[in-house]
Amino acid sequence: MTLDDLDTPAVIIDLDLMEKNIRDMAAHCKKLGIPLRVHTKSHKIPEIAHRQIAAGAVGVACQKLGDAEVMVAAGIHDVLVPYNIVGRKKTERLTRLAKRARMTVAVDSEATARGISEAADNCRVNVLIELDTGGRRCGAQSPEAALDLAKKIAALPGLSFEGVMTYPSRMEAKDFLAKTVGLIRGAGIPVNTVSGGGTGHEHMAKDLGLTETRSGSYVWEGLSRIGNSDHLHESRCPLRVLVTVVSVPTPERAILDGGMKTFASYPPKPYGRIIEHPDAKIYGMSVEHGHVDTSGCSHRFSVGERLSVIPLHQEMCLNLHDECYGYRNGKIEIIWQVAGRGKVK
């Protein structure tokens, strides 16, 4: 089975390039001396996570409990869920997982910690305190607030206080992190983990005093984040969407058989890069159509022609699809189910 046998739209993955990205980040973190925890939200595919671990990662991070269940069921034994797990249904799912794998979660309130403790029956859940070091999402607002919460966590049954986490890693976080760790250790509570994150932020880890760095998007983007479509390139981006030209209504316009429900792309950013004809620009998307301005391109497009597009939002794109196709030298080598897709709970 080759790429030519696939109907479109189809998400395809250049396996050589994906493996290179996995190797490169593993080598990068090894050289930096910082353990790498891979974030599976970028792909939601257990076998890719296993390959990342085989390359040297210490474990995975999953943003939702449903993703964690998928990874544990696939035999992954060290999972961080950097997310406040709230509500009895979820805390029971978490503690069931904690009997099968080393589970760590982030909390930023006593209410969340207490809920997990109450559900922890014959198991231990490792807990990090999330710190809001400028990301303005979740997180304790000060080192003092974190110390107060650490004392409460340390006293709650079923929980192991493990340390702190933040996102993203930024040099501005240095004082906040150092002061928090100092205060907690000063209170006689060990801090084993200081977790930071963000593809492209690994080099700050040592300066920030991190014990691990969480990176995810490097699988699709290489060693640094891609902010706009100018940097999408087939030499670094293994995830593409195979599409068909379904209409060429004018010499300046071609219409693709994938739109927002295929690409998850949205205005006003550019939508992606057409590998075969980068001078043809995707200028708009409706729900199921991609609109291409071909005026700057000498190629004459025709109905039925197939193209490969690197989407701007690879993670969001893959999250729309039930399966994807890994290929090497044009041959389909793997059909992967996107096992964590839709696990929003």
Contact residues for a copy of itself, defined by CB under 8 A: 7-10, 41, 63-64, 83-84, 86-87, 89-90, 108-109, 111-112, 115, 132, 136-141, 244-250, 253, 255, 257-258, 260-262, 264, 266, 268, 286-289, 291, 302-304, 315-316, 319-322, 342, 344-345
Close Cβ partners of 31 (under 8 Å, ≥ 6 residues apart):
none
Smallest gap, in angstroms, from Cβ of residue 3 to a copy of itself?
14
Nearer to a copy of itself, 17 or 125 (CB): 125
Smallest gap, in angstroms, from Cβ of residue 306 to a copy of itself?
9
Pairing mode, if any, of strands 159-165 and 125-130? parallel
Which residue, chain included where needed, has tokens 């399966």? Answer: 323
Smallest gap, in angstroms, from Cβ of residue 156 to a copy of itself?
15
Smallest gap, in angstroms, from Cβ of residue 121 to a copy of itself?
19
Nearer to a copy of itself, 211 or 319 (CB): 319
Smallest gap, in angstroms, from Cβ of residue 85 to a copy of itself?
8
Angle 83-133-97 from CA coordinates, rounded to 5°? 15
From the centroid of its chain, how far is CA 20?
17
Concatenate the DSSP letters of all residues of 167-224 into one string.
SS--GGGHHHHHHHHHHHHHTT----EEEEE-TT-GGGHHHHT-SEEEE-THHHH-SS
The CA–CA distances, whole Å, from 101 to 146, 182, 345 equal: 26, 30, 19
Nearer to a copy of itself, 52 or 265 (CB): 265
Nearer to a copy of itself, 304 or 330 (CB): 304
Give the whole-angstrom CA distance, residue 326 versus residue 345: 28
Nearer to a copy of itself, 12 or 55 (CB): 12
